[in-house]
Chain A
Amino acid sequence: MNVPTMADMMAQGKQPEVLFWVGAAGSYDDRAKKISRAFVKILHQANVSFAVLGTEESSTGDAAKRAGNEFLFQMQAMMNIEVLNGYEVKKIVTCDPHSFNTLKNEYPSLGGKYEVFHHTQFIQNLISEGRLKIDESTLQGKKVTFHDPCYLGRGNDIYESPRDLIRRLGVNLTEMKRSKSTALCCGAGGAQMFKDAEKGDKEINILRTEDALETKPDIIATGCPYCNTMMTDGIKFKEKEAEVVVKDIAELIAEANNL
């Protein structure tokens, strides 16, 4: 798979249209890596000139910040900003709402000012510019429900971009009882992904999976690698792997277009 780095591009004297910020999950997590690859396939199909930082990318510091470690966050941020500004990056796209939120909202006051897109927004733009089409026939009739990532939805008021893409897949979108601004968290945010939950009577991802299963979906669509992990674990816990799959919207589009 051809994934150019900014360093390659620079060596060739080229400046890509957009930087793909892969994020830690998209780089290392086996499930999330598939999302990164699906998104790259879409970028290739739409002939987008893009590049990644590769080994020069480092954690945005989101998890450290939400865990309370502002020092570590700002050190990460300033290191990343130095790299990004060094490459004169103007536009960034990412499949991770946490990176999206941090890069978009928390980097500017530290000197990192970029135009930042969540991949669902970016793909939506590709479609409206006529650079990409989604084949409506492949997934026709499938029942899909969408789980809003907190840092995309409530965090940044983006509810429509992912839904617009899902509708373009030709599937039936059914909303959960808690959706959009009242959506329930998957349980991973605020650095919870990296620790056990406090004592309680249930895991948050199980409660959210139950919300999703109530809509009797074929597919639970997500727009965040961490939500994806939580919902996938929830489906396994409920022993529904045979009936329900958890897929990122990028994966669904890649599947629809046979990429």
Chain B
Amino acid sequence: MQYLPNILFAIALIAGISFFVMNIRKLFRNINLGKAIDRTDNKAARWKNMIKIALGQSKMVSRPFSGFLHIIVYVGFVIINIEVLEIIIDGLLGTHRVFQGFIGDAFYGFLIGTFEILAALVFAAVIIFWTRRNVSNIKRFLSSEMKGWPKTDGNMILYFEMVLMTLFLVMNATDTTFQQAGIGNPISQFIAPLFDGFSLEAMHIVERTAWWIHILGILVFLNYLYYSKHLHILLAFPNTFFANLKPKGQFTNLESVTTEVKLMMDPDADPYAAPAEGTEAEAPEKFGASDVLDLNKVQLLNAYTCTECGRCTSACPANLTGKKLSPRKIMMDTRDRLEEVGRNIDANGGTFKDDGKQLLNDYILPEELWACTSCNACVEECPVNIDPLSIIMDMRRYLVMEESAAPQELNSMMTNIENNGAPWQYNQQDRLNWAKED
């Protein structure tokens, strides 16, 4: 029976990690439903982006207050995780503060002391975040797409962090030998007096309980990630690596269109010619995107990476002037639809069964898409280089090229370009008149 805690710990650890791995595999499967896109060129620039933007948080500080608080939570999260390593070893081996013996009291005290200070800072930052989300009237947290689950999700993450930080400090505060040694307890020494009058045994029970809930909480939190907007803590890294490196103004040229246009413009082409060998069986390519399966893998990765901070939406000229478009909602809808498609595949033995729904209309309305000015403010703002504009453009392409469903005025504009080479109805022969006037 002496090994019961070790065994229980090992079971919890294996279960927690296995379940997480299972979900991550599902996440990969879903992202891979997207179309192939080559974003492996210029690796040096990609690594640099990842190090600067994801690891170095360079875009977070464009908004100094929330950026600074975020860096505290981020640094705290990364560094305090060193302590989790010790907790796991202790749990498996039945040891207590196993690192202390290896690295000596002084250095161990320094490490734990640092963790404690960070834990207190994280706690404070998280309280401010909670206030910003729930008390202050910050517009980007009040948008319609943030009602219901997204709001609860945001708060849940903050509660998780508050509880985990508290448990870490309580665990230290009630560790009597640790407190008596008096090194590495800059914060917990002020919590310890709360437990004055507890018997040694009661203290030990509190310490063990805090220790267990802390590590189980971490495992639960790890598994909560997949169901929440919090995946960015992992996906920010690949997302910044695979982000677009070309000028933001440059939109892709659809290759399928190039082939057709070249054929149309080739005077020698035979319009009645049979398609070349091997191409016959291929289904005609769909132009643009009406559902998540028409998007590429990076766009789907973008959707999972989005943490719904809303910086994009708060910079969007359409949204700022009361239009329905919200770039954040474009990303949230894409993810929601992708998850729905994923569940459909799971329920139908690995293949997608048409559910009569799609991203267009069932999630994103044409009214949202047509409000975009393609100004790239959302792309510029995103702290992890998500590109909502590329999804908007792909969906416009579908509306125009597959459904001929552009707003009437845009149809006139396009007819003018076809007829007289300008968006307005002017005679092409008058194109140089400007030089003769004045």
| Residue positions of A touching B, CB distance < 8 A | 1, 3, 5, 22, 24, 26-29, 33-34, 36-37, 40, 52, 54-55, 57-59, 61, 63-72, 74-76, 78-79, 101, 104-106, 109-110, 150-151, 154-157, 181-182, 184-185, 187-204, 207-208
In the complex, which residues of chain A have a beta carbon less than 8 angstroms from the beta carbon of B414?
64, 67, 69, 72
CA A188 – CA B381 in complex, angstroms? 20
B437 to A, closest residue via Cβ: A33
Q: Is the CB of A75 within 8 A of B265?
A: yes
Q: Which 3 A-B pairs have the closest CB atoms?
A: A155-B249, A190-B374, A68-B396
A196 to B, closest residue via Cβ: B409
Q: Is the CB of B375 within 8 A of A189?
A: yes
In the complex, which residues of chain A have a beta carbon less than 8 angstroms from the beta carbon of B406?
67-69
CA A7 – CA B436 in complex, angstroms? 17
Give which listed residue, B247, B261, B323, B417, contacts A198 with CB less than 8 A. B323
Q: Is the CB of A74 within 8 A of B257?
A: yes
User: Closest Cβ of chain B: how far from A84's Cβ, in Å?
Assistant: 14
Q: Is the CB of A55 within 8 A of B429?
A: yes
Give which listed residue, A26, A58, A64, contacts B434 with CB less than 8 A. A26
B376 to A, closest residue via Cβ: A154
Considering the complex, which residues of chain B in the window 290-316 have a beta carbon less than 8 Å from any beta carbon of chain A?
Answer: 315
In the complex, which residues of chain B have a beta carbon less than 8 angstroms from the beta carbon of A105?
246-247, 249-250
A76 to B, closest residue via Cβ: B417
Q: Is B380 an interface residue (CB 8 A)?
A: yes
In the complex, which residues of chain A have a beta carbon less than 8 angstroms from the beta carbon of B421?
24, 57-59, 76
Q: Is the CB of A67 within 8 A of B413?
A: yes
Q: Is B393 an interface residue (CB 8 A)?
A: yes
Q: Is the CB of B253 within 8 A of A189?
A: no
Give which listed residue, B251, B264, B317, B322, contacts A201 with CB less than 8 A. B322
Q: Is the CB of A198 within 8 A of B325?
A: yes
Interface size range on B against A: 35 or more
Q: Is the CB of A59 within 8 A of B250?
A: no
Q: Is the CB of B438 within 8 A of A27?
A: no
User: Closest Cβ of chain B: how far from A60's Cβ, in Å?
Assistant: 10
The stretch among B179-187, B326-334, B336-344, B365-373 that forms the contact with chain A is: B365-373
Q: Is the CB of B431 within 8 A of A55?
A: yes
CA A5 – CA B435 in complex, angstroms? 11
Q: Is the CB of B434 within 8 A of A72?
A: no
Q: Is the CB of B426 within 8 A of A28?
A: yes
User: Closest Cβ of chain B: how far from A235's Cβ, in Å?
Assistant: 18
CA A21 – CA B83 in complex, angstroms? 63
In the complex, which residues of chain B have a beta carbon less than 8 angstroms from the beta carbon of A74?
253-254, 257-258, 261
The stretch among B24-32, B125-133, B349-357, B397-405 that forms the contact with chain A is: B397-405
21 pairs from A and B in contact (CB 8 Å cutoff) = A3-B435, A24-B424, A28-B431, A33-B434, A34-B438, A37-B438, A55-B428, A55-B432, A63-B413, A67-B410, A68-B397, A70-B288, A74-B254, A106-B251, A182-B381, A190-B372, A190-B375, A196-B409, A198-B370, A200-B323, A202-B322
Once A63-B417, A75-B264, A207-B320 are accepted as A-B contacts, the answer to whether A3 and B373 lie under 8 Å apart by CB is: no
CA A161 – CA B435 in complex, angstroms? 26
Q: Is the CB of B374 within 8 A of A66?
A: yes
In the complex, which residues of chain A have a beta carbon less than 8 angstroms from the beta carbon of B370?
195, 198
Q: Is the CB of A40 within 8 A of B264?
A: no
Q: Is the CB of A154 within 8 A of B249?
A: yes
CA A110 – CA B429 in complex, angstroms? 26
Q: Is the CB of A199 within 8 A of B323?
A: yes
Once A59-B423, A154-B248, A189-B375 are accepted as A-B contacts, the answer to whether A70 and B417 lie under 8 Å apart by CB is: no
Q: Is the CB of B247 within 8 A of A155?
A: yes
B434 to A, closest residue via Cβ: A33
